[in-house]
Each structure stands twice: as structure tokens, then as C-alpha cells.
Amino acid sequence: MNAVAAEPPAVIHLKGLSDAGPPQGANAPSGGSAARAAASVGAMSARAPQDDIPAQHWNGGPVDCAGCSYQTMRGLEGRQGCEPGYACMQDVYARRIDRFFRWHPALGDEQLSHPYFEVRAIAARHANVFRLTALMNDPDETVRLQVALRLPMTQLLKMVNDPHREVRIRVAQRLEPIDLALMRNDADYGVRELVANRLPLPLLPVMATDVDRAVRMRVAKRLEMPALLRMADDAEPEVRRIVAERLPTGLLQRLGKDRDWRVRFEVAQRADVATLKTMANDDEADIRQTVTERLNTLEPTDNPLGAIHG
């Protein structure tokens, strides 16, 4: 048998399965049939590490090549064939299924309706992209996630309301920026954060009042004037601090008296002379020191607004 180079692990992860065994409730074959199947697998798993997880059928019990539709591959060498415990579509272990389909990507189309979700998910990575629409409503999110990574954009729009957040995140990562407006009110803040990172700037102000602080922080890092100025009154100091980092220096005076010292400290590092003088008696010693040091080095600017920062 030809030697096969080491391959990277599959990115598909088992769901509800541990490395210790098959799905709970799976019943292994009993008696002589189980023994014969196990012996057959052991004899054919030449490349599987000695301490690797034993080959197990996805539905419970040992792998039995006699019941596999691809059993003729057992007589082929290397990547032309298959190997229980190493590259096997019947195995419960996703890495072995993935290796099988990487050796035989053309078989992906044939297994899109397989009863085991891992087989469907991995097959979807190799199948003809025009066959994937049949899996857009697959009952398992692992399968739908793989579909979302490969669907043409026109079809991907139909998945913006998928019930699982991880699927919608993948959709938001791939959609054209202009189409992200469809997801700006998504129920999950992680999806909305991603939308805020990629939404075209003319549409971004609508997210400045998002209910989640993390989303508004993303918005504040990208928003331009004059919409940015309106976020200077945000309820969260983390948002106002970002605004203070980016406002034109001539507009920082309103934040020089902010109730949060972190915002005022940011102002003290950027403000013009007029604003710095209003902060000379700040309650925080570090801020007073910063104001004093900057007043000793700055001259009044001819431009009362200054330049936008960031």
C-alpha cells in the first residue's frame, strides 16, 4: 500500500459525541457477527494509530464493510480506496469521514441525504454547489453551516433568518455589504456586531442606538461625522471613550466634563488648549497631570475644530 502523507484535521466537529464512543443509545451487533466485523476492521486498519479511537459505525457497533455501498474500494490502494479506522464514510468519527471525502470528493453529491448529519455536512463541502439548495433547511445546523459557506450569493440571502446563530454569523460574513441591512436587527448581538463591522457607512447610523453596548462600540469605531457626535451622549462610558478617541479636537469640550474618568482621560490626551484649561482642576490626579503637561507644550490652534482622529 502506498504511503500517505499526514493530513490536517477536519474542521467539522462531532456534535453530541465524545472521543470515547458512539452516540448514546446505539446498539452494537451481538454474537458472532460483531466479532467477525471487528476482526475484519482490525485486519484492514493498517494506518490507524495503535492508540486511536476504535472504528465504530455511526449508528453503533463495529464497521462492517460488507454492508457498505463502496465496499469495492477496499481492494484499491492509497487514496483510490478507503480504510476502516482511517478513511471511512461509515465511521462515527468526523475526521475519518472527512478523510474519505477528501480522497473521493466526487462522491459528495451521492451522500447529501445520508441519515448521519456528519456525513451530510462533510459531503456538502465537496458536492456540486447547485445541489446545496436542498440542504438549506436541513434539520441539523452543522449541515446548514456548511451550506452557508458555499451557497451562491443569490441563494445565501434566503438564509438570513436561519434559526441558529452560528449559521447566521456565517451568512453575515459572506453577504455583500449592501445586503447586510437585512440583518441589522438580528436577534443575536454577535450577528449584529458583525453587521456593524461591514455595513456600508451611509447605512451605519441606524445602528447607533442598538440595545447592546458591544454593537454600539463597533458602530462608534466606524461612524463618521456628524453622526459620530450624536454618540457622545451614549449611556455607556466605553462607547463615549471611543467617541472621544475619534471626534475632531475642537468638539471634545462637551466630553471634558464627562462623569467617567476614562472618557475625560482620553479627552485630556487629545483636546485643544481651550478644552484643556477647563479640565485643569479635574478630580483625578492623573488627568490633572496630563492636562498640565500638554498645556506646557501646546500652542492654540488656528483651526477651532481641528482634524478628525482615527
Residue 162 domain-assigned? Answer: no
Domain membership flag for residue 214 = no
Instruction: Give me the domain span that covers residue 296.
Output: 236-310
Question: Quick one: which H or E segment has residue 103?
Answer: helix 94-103
Helices and strands (H, E) in the chain, number of each type: 13, 0
In a domain, residue 24? The reply is no
Whether the per-residue pLDDT at 4 is higher than 50: the answer is no
Q: 120 and 1 in one domain?
A: yes
pLDDT in tens, 197-206: 999 999 999 9
pLDDT at 78: 84
Choosing from 127, 158, 174, the residue where a domain stops is 127
Assigned domain for 123 exists: yes
Query: How much is the pLDDT for 46?
Result: 53
Handedness of CA 197, 199, 204, 208 (dihedral sign): negative
Percent of the chain with pLDDT over 90: 69
- Where a domain ends, among 106, 127, 148? 127
Query: How much is the pLDDT for 307?
Result: 47
Residue 207 lies in a domain: no
- For residue 104, the model assigns a pLDDT of 96
Domain finish residue from 100, 127, 154: 127
Q: Residue 169 belongs to what H/E stretch?
A: helix 165-174
**How far apart, in Å, do the first and last CA atoms of the chain sit?**
60
Q: Is residue 200 assigned to a domain?
A: no
Q: What is the pLDDT of residues 53-110, one digit of tens each?
A: 888 899 888 888 888 889 889 888 889 989 888 999 999 999 999 999 999 999 999 9
Q: Say if 186 falls within a structural domain.
A: no
Cβ contacts of 44-51, under 8 Å, gap ≥ 24: 44/74, 44/83, 44/84, 44/85, 45/83, 45/84, 45/85, 45/86, 46/1, 46/83, 46/86, 47/1, 47/4, 47/83, 47/85, 47/86, 48/83, 48/85, 48/86
Counted domains in the chain: 2
CB 196 within 8 A of CB 203: no
**Residue 274: what pLDDT?**
93
Is residue 42 in a domain? no
Q: For position 84, which CATH number holds?
A: 1.25.10.10
